[in-house]
């Protein structure tokens, strides 16, 4: 191991979650010292912690059980780091409507705590913040029409939503993530913090436990495999682009290695047109893959739900050379493999949440 690898210390907030645990593993394999800060409140997180502890890697794992709302703890956790990946968040639109105060303090104030901790370091570490496509609101400026199995843009030249799309926060969750998004961008301009913001579409892959508000692809697949019903909100023609978590990790690495040229930039990150799929299409694909017909019920369209969201990743590709590699079929295969290896954990969770087993596009 080189001296650089040995001395590389990284903080990941929310590092025991779906994306965080995958990123932690990658960095441990590269020989880094990884500090995972997580409040361990999410389903599956403790299972991920155990998995991380049992990995045989050249890196060093440091676990910090805590919350991004604790500014003093963050200052201590950031000390001496070269990189900070701020993934911790309240992730559900529905939860933000039920409890907007907690949503704000976790997402907006929590991010400010991270930024202040980073800003006060003698050498400011690289900071990557994971934002969301929800900052664009309901995308009224992207007109769509109904096709047989999906909504499609009326503009035949449409290549996805680009970063110049007007911000239109359309829920407490959108407001809190969007405010944080803008703070991160501005700390690069005002304080010289080397930041990058990823406005992410649907990320999917192994170590995703899936529920109605986050991880809808995994949720659909697990529900069908368990013979549980799925509720589709609206007509099921809503379209999202899907990105494999490994492609996301590669994008993060590309951003870090190109930080001198992209400091303060904001990028839309997703699977793009090639990996776009509607709710109806995904359910049909899962049914064909598993040989199990999905049990469907229908509910009202959720307020502010985007009928069509596809990421235009041209800026990220042009600035870093990154490209998505995994197909939608690859993504489903990796999730199904994870399910096969963790049926007891996933099945127990599904049983406990049986009254809530409903799904929608995230």
What CATH architecture applies to the domain 3-356?
3-Layer(aba) Sandwich (3.40)
pTM score, two decimals? 0.92
278 membership: H or E segment, kind and range: strand 276-278
Q: Which of 80-89, 201-210, 272-281 has the lowest mean pLDDT?
A: 201-210
Q: Which two tokens stand for residue 57?
A: 């890697």
The answer to whether residue 213 scores a pLDDT higher than 50 is yes
- Does position 287 have pLDDT exceeding 80, yes or no? yes
Q: Which residues contact 124 (CB under 8 A, 6 or more apart)?
A: 118, 191, 192, 193, 194
Strand order in the sheet with 83-86: 60-65, 33-38, 9-13, 83-86, 126-132, 195-200, 265-269
Mapping DSSP to helix (H, G, I), strand (E, B) and coil, where does residue 265 land?
A: strand
The residue ranking higher by pLDDT, 198 or 347, is: 198
Q: List the chain domain ranges.
A: 3-356
Question: Can you tell me the mean pLDDT for 317-322?
Answer: 98
Residue 352 has pLDDT above 70, yes or no: no
The pLDDT value recorded for residue 337 is 95
* Active site (annotated) includes residue 173: yes
Cα angle for residues 351, 333, 201 (degrees, 5° grid): 80
pLDDT at 77: 97
pLDDT at 46: 87
Please give the C-alpha separations between residue 5 and each of 1, 2, 17, 141, in angstroms, as whole numbers.
Answer: 6, 5, 24, 46
For residues 160 and 313, give the distance between their C-alpha atoms in angstroms, rounded to a whole number.
8
The partner residues of 199 in beta bridges, in order of sequence, read 131, 268
List the catalytic residue out of 151, 173, 222, 326.
173
User: Percent of the chain scored above 70 by pLDDT?
Assistant: 92
């Amino acid at each position: 191991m080189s001296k650089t690898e040995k001395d590389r210390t990284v903080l990941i907030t929310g590092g025991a979650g779906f994306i965080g645990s995958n990123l932690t593993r990658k960095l441990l394999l590269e020989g880094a010292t990884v500090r995972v800060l997580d409040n361990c409140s999410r389903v599956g997180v403790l299972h991920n912690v155990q998995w991380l502890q049992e990995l045989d890697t050249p890196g060093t794992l440091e676990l910090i059980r805590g919350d991004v709302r604790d500014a003093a703890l963050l200052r201590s956790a950031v000390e001496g780091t070269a990189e900070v990946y701020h993934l911790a968040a309240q992730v559900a639109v529905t939860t933000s409507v039920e409890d907007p105060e907690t949503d704000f303090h976790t997402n907006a104030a929590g991010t400010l705590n991270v930024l202040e901790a980073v800003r006060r370091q003698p050498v400011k570490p690289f900071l990557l913040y994971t934002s969301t496509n929800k900052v664009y609101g309901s995308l009224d400026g992207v007109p769509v029409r109904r096709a047989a199995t999906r909504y499609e843009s009326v503009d035949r030249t449409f290549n996805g939503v680009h970063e110049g799309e007007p911000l239109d926060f359309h829920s407490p969750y959108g407001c809190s993530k969007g405010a944080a998004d803008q703070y991160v961008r501005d700390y690069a301009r005002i304080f010289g913090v080397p930041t990058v913001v990823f406005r992410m579409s649907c990320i999917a892959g192994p170590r995703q436990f899936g529920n109605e508000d986050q991880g809808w692809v995994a949720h659909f697949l697990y529900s069908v495999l368990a013979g549980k019903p799925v509720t589709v909100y609206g007509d099921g023609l809503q379209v999202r682009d899907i990105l494999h978590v490994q492609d996301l990790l590669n994008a993060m690495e590309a951003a870090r290695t190109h930080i001198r040229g992209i400091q303060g930039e904001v990028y839309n990150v997703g699977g793009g047109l090639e990996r776009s799929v509607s709710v109806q299409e995904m359910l049909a694909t899962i049914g064909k893959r598993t040989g199990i017909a999905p049990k469907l019920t229908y509910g009202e369209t959720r307020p502010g739900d985007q009928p069509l969201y596809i990421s235009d990743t041209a800026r990220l590709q042009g600035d870093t050379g990154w490209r998505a590699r995994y197909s939608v079929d690859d993504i489903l295969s990796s999730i199904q493999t994870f399910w096969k290896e963790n049926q007891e954990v996933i099945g127990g969770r599904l049983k406990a949440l049986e009254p809530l087993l409903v799904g929608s596009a995230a």
